[in-house]
Amino acid sequence: MQSKPQRQVPQEPIITQDLWELVQTHVNSRKRSRKDDEPQIFAGLLRCGECGWTLGSANTKDKGRFYRCTQYSAYGRNFCTMHYTPYKILYAFVLGRLQFWLMAVKENEDAILERLLQGSEKQRRSENARAEKELKKAQKRRQELDNLFAKMYEDRVKGLLDEENYSMLSVKYRTEQQQLDETVKTITARMEETKEETDDAKRWVELIQKYSAIDELTAPLLNELIEKIVVHQSWKDENGKTVRDIEIYYRFVGKID
């Protein structure tokens, strides 16, 4: 029986004008109307991609609801650029990405974990095995040096080792001990970091798997799955179409789109 091929995860970091037009249809077709006093589901998550400040919500008759840089709003063009992002397109983009990742995890969880960890499980096991081997070797040599120090002291007391040679060997072995201690520390930290990365990836996958479907965005859902959303100034592509660059940083795993 042939194994199911792993799904390739595409990169979709930008929004084009064509998508914007589709978004208008998608959002306008939603049955539940949105009132001006509706809770701000993106509160605390949005950051300006130009200056790093937060994005604030505004609502006008011609633009509808949109988000703009709070630094620009407060201090003007000398501190940031004049740009804004419509609520509708932001909502649809984030909803689409979460739906994509939920479907991808359900179809092939192992492939997504591999994508999040940016390497194969076989490679990670090989690296961990090599690190463990280096760690055991360093720890073994460290113990040998402790035993050598003990024997040197005995030989010195018995008169089998003069003071000059004792001092010379002491400096040599202490230097090696310090180097080994640093090696053990570095290897241990590397192994802990690898384990933490694996745990974080699994934790995020478990979080999104809690949902059988994601049909709409809510503040609790966004804050559980997303750390921040960085919105950049729009720009024109070679065909003159508006392109909006939005980056989603997910909890535990960061930017994966």
Tell me whether residue 5 is in a domain.
Answer: no
* One domain for residues 108 and 62: yes
Report pLDDT digits (tens) over 42-51: 999 999 998 8
Residue 79 has a pLDDT of 87
Residue 24 has a pLDDT of 52
Tell me whether residue 39 is in a domain.
Answer: yes
* One domain for residues 113 and 240: yes
Instruction: State how far the Cα of 89 lies from the Cα of 27, in Å rounded to an integer.
Output: 8
Could you tell me which of 224, 196, 191 has the C-alpha nearest to residue 210?
A: 224
CB 227 within 8 A of CB 254: yes
Residue 36 has a pLDDT of 46
* One domain for residues 101 and 173: no
Span 77-84, average pLDDT? 84
Range of the domain at 153: 121-206
Residue 9 has a pLDDT of 43
Tell me whether residue 185 is in a domain.
Answer: yes
pLDDT band for position 127 (50/70/90)?
low
Question: In sequence order, what DSSP letters do the residues of the chain get, joined into one string?
Answer: -PPPPPPP-----EE-HHHHHHHHHHHHT-SS---TTS--TTTTTEEETTT-PBEEEEEETTTEEEEEEHHHHHH-TTTS---EEEHHHHHHHHHHHHHHHHHHHHH-HHHHHHHHHTS-HHHHHHHHHHHHHHHHHHHHHHHHHHHHHHHHHHHHHTTSS-HHHHHHHHHHHHHHHHHHHHHHHHHHHHHHHHHHHHHHHHHHHHHHHT-S---S--HHHHHHHEEEEEEPPPEE-TTS-EEEEEEEEETTTEE--
Q: Which residues contact 3 (CB under 8 A, 6 or more apart)?
A: none
Residue 2 has a pLDDT of 40
Tell me whether residue 221 is in a domain.
Answer: yes
* One domain for residues 125 and 158: yes
More confident residue, 6 or 136: 136
Residue 244 has a pLDDT of 82
* One domain for residues 104 and 172: no
Read off the pTM: 0.59
Span 205-231, average pLDDT? 93
Question: Looking at the predicted structure, is the pLDDT value of residue 5 above 70?
Answer: no
Span 5-13, average pLDDT? 42
* One domain for residues 111 and 221: yes
Could you tell me which of 232, 226, 234 has the C-alpha nearest to residue 43?
A: 226
Q: Which residues contact 256 (CB under 8 A, 6 or more apart)?
A: 101, 115, 116, 250
Residue 120 has a pLDDT of 42
